[in-house]
Amino acid sequence: MANPTSSVAHDVVRRLIKHLDNGSSTDQAPATMTVPASVYTDPAQWERDRQVLRRTPTVVALSSELREPGSFKTADLGGRSIIVVRGADGVARVLINRCSHRGTQLVQGRGRKRRFTCPFHGWSFEPTGQLGNITSDENFCDLDRDGYGLTALPTREELGLIWAVGSPDVPLDEVDLLTGMEEDVRQLDLGRWHFQYAEPLPAAVNWRMLLEGVFETYHLPYLHAKTAAKIFYSNVMTFDAFGRHFRMAWPRRTIDEVRGVPEVEWIDPVRHVNLLYYVFPNTVLLYNAGMWQALPGATPGESTMLFNFFTIGDDPAMTEAQRQRFQFAIDVTREEDNPAAEASYRNFAVQPDGPVVFGRNELCLHHLHRKLDEVTPRTPVRKA
């Protein structure tokens, strides 16, 4: 929303004000929805979810993270370590982070390199994945070097997003990635997003529960009475689906500054809302905060929310106010959201056949589970 007159910002602010003026109404689903608690605890379901993350187009980076040739970052794609790298030809590629000699991970974190050198035996690889140098190569004289490059994964770059599929055999070229969300992404102006830092936050919960905690504001006055509830109105939101993805917006209390003010006089209305995009299957784009990703762990009851924080604008420097806002998100998640979710998961593990109910006001959770259900078979969703 670099343009303060963007149509998306005006639309959601207009609708949120209408909800508030109607007595804090909200966008709603037509009915409640239930899922079995085993969705979170069943090892077979967890493995199917991991396969979704490996065989479904997934955002692995923003283009702005790889501005220069040789820029790279490592990421997790369905439990598989990958390298996202910008080549000398300007093309973004995704490579499995596994040396073709003895399987060691080549690199961690992010940075800029001309080539990737294995820390175990010194084999090196070009950013294209091609095998470069073999140390003591006289001992490998019969090796077909062309067959020992890094495995490249299907990759596409579109509107500032870099997508990949974690399985080499899944085609990506003809896939409609954004399914109608293109104009929204254009208005996000992702080229002006500047990466600041990443912070992983593990929790003893299923990965779906990490997303659920972000996708509803019903809980704000109870779980976050002394923190987020002082900043945001609760249980008031807009919802717009784009295929498997969706847009969610909820109001900051500063929205009162423009209630009753003619729309033509609004200045930068997006500052009065939290504007969130869910990009299926596990990515959250939160305007003025960054890209967050829910990552399954080693068991159904382990996961990590990876917070990638970005600032927006012409100046890439992070201000102290922005740093404090990012830390606030970490602190609230660690101290309030995660303990509540972990307590729920412990109960689910004891009674996995019990129902979990989503209200009409939690329609983002309806969408999340329905769309995951479309691509992975599991116990059918039951309506209340």
- What mean pLDDT is predicted for residues 90-103? 98
Strands across the sheet with 110-112, in order?
Answer: 110-112, 71-77, 80-86, 92-96, 152-153
Q: Do 252 and 274 meet the contact criterion of CB atoms below 8 Å apart?
A: yes
What is the CB-side half-sphere exposure of residue 241 using CA atoms within 13 A? 13
Q: Do 7 and 266 meet the contact criterion of CB atoms below 8 Å apart?
A: no
If one looks up domain 7-55+178-375 in CATH, what number appears? Answer: 3.90.380.10
- What mean pLDDT is predicted for residues 213-239? 98
- For residues 353 and 223, the model is more confident at 223
Q: Give one DSSP letter per residue of 295-334, joined into a string.
A: EE-SSTT-EEEEEEEEEESS--PPPHHHHHHHHHHHHHII
Residue 77 has pLDDT above 60, yes or no: yes
Using alpha carbons, list the distances in angstroms from residue 305 to 91, 218, 328, 338.
28, 21, 15, 10
Ranges assigned E (strand) in the chain:
33-36, 58-62, 71-77, 80-86, 92-96, 110-112, 116-117, 124-125, 152-153, 155-158, 161-164, 193-203, 238-242, 245-251, 273-279, 283-286, 290-296, 303-312, 355-358
Residue 78 has pLDDT above 50, yes or no: yes
- Residue-level pLDDT at 6: 85
Which tens digit of pLDDT belongs to each residue from 4-48? 448 999 999 999 999 999 987 999 999 999 999 999 999 999 999
The percent of residues in the chain predicted with pLDDT above 90, rounded, is 94
> Boundaries of CATH 2.102.10.10 in the chain?
71-164
- Supply the mean pLDDT for the chain: 95
Q: Cβ neighbours of residue 257 under 8 Å, at least 6 residues apart?
A: 272
CA nearest to 345, candidates 17, 2, 41, 47: 41
- What mean pLDDT is predicted for residues 178-185? 96
- What mean pLDDT is predicted for residues 348-372? 96
- For residues 330 and 384, the model is more confident at 330
Q: Do 333 and 211 meet the contact criterion of CB atoms below 8 Å apart?
A: no
CA nearest to 67, candidates 97, 92, 94: 92
In the chain, the N- to C-terminal Cα span, in Å, equals 39
Assign domain 71-164 one CATH number from 3.30.1600.10, 1.20.1260.10, 2.102.10.10, 2.130.10.10: 2.102.10.10
- Residue-level pLDDT at 1: 53
- Residue-level pLDDT at 182: 97
> Boundaries of CATH 3.90.380.10 in the chain?
7-55+178-375
- Residue-level pLDDT at 383: 44
Please, what's the b/e burial string for 361-379 (b: 16 or more CB within 10 A of its CB; e: otherwise)?
bbbbbbbbbebbeeebebe
